[in-house]
Amino acid sequence: MTTTWKLATRAEKMNPSVLREILKVTERPGIISLAGGLPSPKTFPIQAFADACADVLHNDGQAALQYAASEGYGPLRQAVADMLPWNVDPAQVLITTGSQQGLDLVAKVLLDPGSRVLVETPTYLGALQAFAPMEPVPESVASDDEGVIVDDLVAKARGTAGDAARFVYLLPNFQNPTGRTMTEARRQAVAEAAAKAGLPIVEDNPYGELWFDEAPPLPLAARNPDGVIYLGSFSKVLAPGLRLGFMVAPKAVYPKLLQAKQAVDLHTPIFTQRMVSAVMKDNFLALHVPTIRALYKRQRDAMVAALRREMKGLDVQFKVPVGGMFLWARMPEGIDTVKLLPRAVERNVAFVPGAPFYAGPGDSRTMRLSFVTANVDEIDTAIAALAATVREVLAEQRGEPALAPT
């Protein structure tokens, strides 16, 4: 008899990450990838990390390599509280193994099978994947260029038969995938409506520091700290390879989140926590982050210019993101971006189709383009290749002969 690996129901429902599978294809040499959300490695402060490692191991080597508190490293929790733009008690800060882990913990603590969870249209795919093992029912809230529409949020919060939504998951700054940002007015309206409806908010803010011309409005958590779990990350301001994030949680849920954290990995690596704490001394981020903003702004400008130049005459729609890493574009009628992708890869350019980012039926004409990983020249080349692919597919649909890749 052979061993029977009977899977849990939730595992039967798990599917490979569309993004991860696409990323694999696009690792082929010669491909310019606008697909992944990889920060530009040029922005990683390697020397500062090297100094911090040497410092930590020399001064606190034993403690930096020992088991540590599940809550996280005290000075790092204090530093997180200090850098946030509202009055945060460090006791409410929980250090996580990337902000992705925060999503897993939130799901474990707040979602039962069948629980309704509200998300933006579209939303961050990784959040849907993190929530999925707890078997909730994600529900899309109608959204416009400023984020979720308040009336629909309120209507869906309540539910029909006492099945109030457990929380709404929002990414107000330079959203993944759309790049959109909630305005001050919308934030205030959402925060007030959620508080009035008793609806908890899970606010994800990995990109908030990556603004180009002006800082975004205050987070939702600042407006109602007892009603919001706030997730943050060091991945975009220092480096993602350390997997270092944090959450700020109200007293009503912090102890349960902490217990869930203990059960999943005891604590986030203390060595990397102390490294980052050492790097952040002397106000390092205040000098470092502006250099990231400047680089990404130049690359955003290049992508916007290239799209306007190369897509001229085509019905391609997009908004110019005012920060972050992503631009969301809608291709002309007749283009299905899932089908377009292999054709684009033939021309050595990759992107992420938009449909997987929707909790409900997706808009098959959309795609997410990252402007942070590729440099300006590569962006120019990639957008030209993408435009050529789109024109080729449209020409085929009109029955015109296929052109050789240029």
Nearest to 281 by CA among 90, 133, 75, 101: 75
**Least distance in angstroms from the C-beta of 128 to its own copies:** 9
C-beta of residue 307 within 8 angstroms of C-beta of residue 299: no
Question: Of the two residues 263 and 395, which places its CB atom closer to its own copies in the complex?
Answer: 263
**158 vs 339, which CB is nearer to its own copies?**
158
Report the alpha-carbon distance of residue 62 to residue 304 in Å, rounded.
50
* Axis crossing angle, helix 184-197 with helix 150-158, rounded to the nearest 10: 20
In whole angstroms, how close is the CB of 238 to its own copies at the nearest point? 8
Whether 329 contacts 366, CB under 8 Å: yes
What is the smallest separation between the CB atom of 215 and its own copies, expressed in angstroms? 25
CB of 125 to its own copies, least distance (A): 11
Beta carbon nearer to its own copies, 2 or 406: 2
End-to-end Cα, the chain, rounded Å: 58
Rank residues 128 and 387 by Cβ distance to its own copies and give the closer one. 128
Q: Which of residues 113 and 405 has its CB atom nearest to its own copies in the complex?
A: 113
Which position has the token pair 């060595």? 271
**Phi, psi (rounded to 5 degrees) for 99:** -70, -20
Q: What is the closest distance, in whole angstroms, from the C-beta atom of residue 214 to its own copies in the complex?
A: 28
Q: At 316, which amino acid appears?
A: V
Nearest residue (CB) to its own copies, 270 versus 382: 270
Residue 253 C-beta: closest distance to its own copies, Å: 5
How far apart (Å, rounded) are the C-alpha atoms in residues 306 and 97? 37
Strand order in the sheet with 228-233: 93-96, 245-248, 228-233, 201-204, 167-170, 116-119, 137-140
